[in-house]
Amino acid sequence: MMNQWAFVIAAYAVTLAGTALVSLMSWRGMRSAERRADQLSDRG
């Protein structure tokens, strides 16, 4: 039987990777959309 720690590490890795990915994607999406909106506002 696999060591119990292997299951614990796998569960934490899945959670932290998923959370980091959705945070990063949301942040990048927000930054690029707000930058585009600001650029258009600056152009008048």
Partner 1 sequence: MPYWRWSVGPATDAILMHRFANPARFLKIARPLTGWLFWPGLLLLLSGAAVGLFVTPADYLQGQTVRILYIHVPAAWLGMGGWSGIAIAALMQLVWRHPLAAIAGRAIAAPGALFTAICLMTGSIWGRPTWGTWWEWDGRMTSMLVLFFLYLGYIALANASARQGQQGGVSNVTAIFGLVGAVNIPIINRSVVWWNSLHQGPSITLRGSSIDGSLLWPLGFTLLGFSLLFGAIVLMRMRAILAQNKVEARMQRLARG
Fill in the per-residue mask, 14 to 43: x = in contact with partner 1 (CB under 8 A), - = not in contact: xxx-xx--xx--xx-xx--xx-xx--xx--
- Minimum distance of partner 1 from residue 41's CB (angstroms): 8
Structure tokens at 38: 């600001």
Q: In terms of residues, how long is the chain? A: 44
The Cα-based distances of 36 to 15, 31, 41, 44 in angstroms read 32, 9, 9, 13
Q: Which two three-digit tokens encode residue 27?
A: 């942040």
# chain residues binding partner 1, by CB under 8 A: 26
> In the bound complex, what is the minimum distance in angstroms from residue 13's beta carbon to partner 1?
10
CB of 43 to partner 1, least distance (A): 9
